[in-house]
Amino acid sequence: MEIVNTEKKTVLSLIQPTGTPTLGNYLGALKNWAKMSEEYDCIFGAADLHSLTVRTEPALLRKRTMEIYALLLALELDPEKNIIFVQSHVPAHSQLGWILNCYTQFGEAARMTQFKEKSLKNADNVNVGLFDYPILMAADILLYQSDFVPVGVDQKQHLELTRDIASRFNSAYGNVFKVPEPFIGKRGARVMSLQEPEKKMSKSDANTKSFILLTDTPDVINKKIKSAVTDSEARVYYSSEKPGVSNLMDIYGSCTGLSYEEIEAQFAGKGYGDFKAAVAEAVIEELRPLQDKFNKLVTEKAYLTETAAVGAEKAARIAYRTLGKVMKKVGLWK
């Protein structure tokens, strides 16, 4: 049976197993993925090859990859209907990645702001993989003829590079790749640090109070939100002058579906104490079903291994079709 039919559009996204995902990863990306799985043919995966750009103890990387995989299943993404897989299980990603390297200019890759930021952060290990990271990401996307790629705002530039590579390749060789569109949600696309709300919430932040992890207990979530940085005005409204409060409003709105106006009305005349308590409660309730499912699934190693093997097989069927075409077009003996 064919998995990806021609009527439904294809949605693809991957997440790196670099640590425990945060509320930012969830509201910015994962929550949208879960919503899209009814309407689209979805392909979601763990980008373990991308994670090799940062040195990690091998056993830990393996454990995190399995955890991220369990988390994808916990989002209620049905592995029968969708493809849920691990990037390194489908070698076509590395193969197309190499070919696309030869169709990307050094100067284009050097413009990527995430590379500049990450090389400052990992100054002792600025490896070639870190530089090449967006081209492997382009391969992930183009192999599956993806229509939409749901990501947080920080990945927009990588998507633009992917589109450039695809269009250039298509003008040289005919229509080989579908040119994908980014899908960036209106809410939660950039959840900010709870301690420095000018910076994005990041799981690799040294200050553990700056993020909420998807595995945090209700008690920890309460404490972290209580200690979130706000301002001295004690009035809840959305403004670029109030990044801390605006970030909490964004989080609250993403969890409850309320608009900024509705939130302002709800907390009119109330202080930050009441507001923060409500935000914490909303986050706890939002994460509860996911956490319950995740905690159960993550202990079922045999099921995870089996499901990942099925996912890789389904993914490979699509990926190798595209790779075969590309190989022929560029003149590899096939």
Comparing CB distances to ligand ATP, the nearer of 27 and 323 is: 27
Give the catalytic positions in this structure: 118, 200, 203
Least CB distance from residue 199 to ligand ATP, whole Å?
9
Query: Candidates 133-141, 263-271, 283-291, 309-317 — which segment interacts with ligand LTN by CB under 6 A?
Result: 133-141
142 scored as a contact of ligand LTN (CB under 6 A):
no
Q: Give the whole-angstrom CA distance, residue 235 versus residue 268.
A: 7
149 scored as a contact of ligand LTN (CB under 6 A):
yes
User: Which of ligand LTN, ligand ATP, none interacts with 42 (beta carbon under 5 to 8 A by kind)?
Assistant: none
Least CB distance from residue 40 to ligand LTN, whole Å?
14
User: Which of ligand LTN, ligand ATP, none interacts with 200 (beta carbon under 5 to 8 A by kind)?
Assistant: ligand ATP
13 scored as a contact of ligand LTN (CB under 6 A):
yes
What separation in angstroms does the CA of 129 have from each of 125, 134, 140, 259, 326? 10, 9, 15, 41, 22
Comparing CB distances to ligand ATP, the nearer of 117 and 292 is: 117
Comparing CB distances to ligand ATP, the nearer of 133 and 272 is: 133
Residues 6+ apart with CB under 8 A from 227: 194, 195, 209
140 scored as a contact of ligand LTN (CB under 6 A):
yes
3-state secondary structure of 120: helix
What separation in angstroms does the CA of 28 have from each of 24, 117, 173, 198? 6, 20, 35, 16
Helix ranges (H only) for the chain are 23-25, 31-36, 48-51, 58-74, 92-101, 106-110, 113-121, 128-143, 156-173, 218-226, 243-256, 260-266, 272-297, 301-330
14 scored as a contact of ligand LTN (CB under 6 A):
yes
Q: What is the DSSP string of 52-100?
A: TTS---HHHHHHHHHHHHHHHHHTT--TTTSEEEEGGGSTHHHHHHHHH
Residue listed under structure tokens 């986050």: 283
What's at 173, amino acid-wise?
A: Y
Show contacts with ligand ATP in window 239-268 (CB under 6 A).
Answer: none
16 scored as a contact of ligand LTN (CB under 6 A):
yes
Pick from 11, 12, 15, 72 the residue near ligand ATP by CB under 6 A. 15
Residues near ligand LTN (CB under 6 A) are: 12-14, 16, 47, 50, 137, 140-141, 149, 151, 155, 158
- Report the interface residues with ligand ATP, using CB under 6 A: 15-16, 18, 24-25, 28-29, 151-152, 154-155, 188-191, 200-204
